[in-house]
Amino acid sequence: MNQKNGPIQLKGLHSTRPMPVMFVGHGSPMNAIEDNTYSRYWQTLGNQFDQGKRWPTPQLIVCISAHWLTEGWALTGMQSPPTIHDFGGFPPELFAQQYSAPGSPELSIQIANTIIQPRDQQKAHVDEHEWGFDHGTWSVLKPMFPNADIPVIQLSMDYSRHPSKHLAVGQQLDFLR
């Protein structure tokens, strides 16, 4: 709930029961292509959303990645965000991985308009060209949602802000649940 304006409903999404908020550390990017405890857990977790087994199938996934560091907060705002291989020293099989989930420029703009940045009281920036899905996002989502059919928006972290400011931005996103 936005405390100034009341509840927020994004145009294009319908209301559901509250969805879980998850912290999922990705560990080694190799977990995206290896069969191991981590990848199997992510598959099991993703299956809990399949056809509403435990939770409704998400209409949108918003990932906050510590690999996309910006001044101020930004959201990916392209229809087809690229897969970014922001690492080195791994086998070619990992660099060949793609996660082609759609983005949602319209929803990115709506969400950006709800985030008031603590440093300057401006709205978050929508990145229409530069970033995409870095391995902090795709290496986890690929095993969880292998069909890549749920729109994904990635949110950056403002590297110059105190953790309390990140918490404040996170609280502004509670309406997404």
Domain that holds residue 90: 29-176
Strands of 60-165, DSSP E? 61-70, 74-76, 125-127, 152-158
Sign of the CA dihedral running 121, 126, 131, 132: positive
Find out whether 94 and 29 touch, Cβ atoms under 8 Å.
Answer: yes
The predicted model scores a pTM of 0.90
Tally the residues of the chain: 177
pLDDT of residue 7: 60
Mean pLDDT over all residues of the chain? Answer: 89
Whether 1 maps to a domain, the answer reads: no
In the predicted structure, residue 105 carries a pLDDT above the cut 90: yes
pLDDT of residue 30: 93
Whether 11 maps to a domain, the answer reads: no
> For residue 27, with 0-12 CB atoms within 10 Å meaning exposed, 13-18 middle and 19 or more buried, which class applies?
middle
Whether 99 maps to a domain, the answer reads: yes
The number of folded domains in the chain is: 1
In the predicted structure, residue 82 carries a pLDDT above the cut 80: yes
Beta bridge partners of 126: 75
pLDDT of residue 1: 38
Residues 50-80 pLDDT 10s: 777 888 889 999 999 889 999 999 999 999 9
Residues 120-149 pLDDT 10s: 888 999 999 999 999 999 999 999 999 999
Whether 140 maps to a domain, the answer reads: yes
24: confidence class by pLDDT, cuts 50, 70, 90: confident
Task: Compute the distance between CA of residue 29 and CA of residue 136 in angstroms, rounded to an integer.
Answer: 8
> What are the tokens at 151?
């729109």
Whether 146 maps to a domain, the answer reads: yes
- CATH label of the domain that carries residue 85: 3.40.830.10
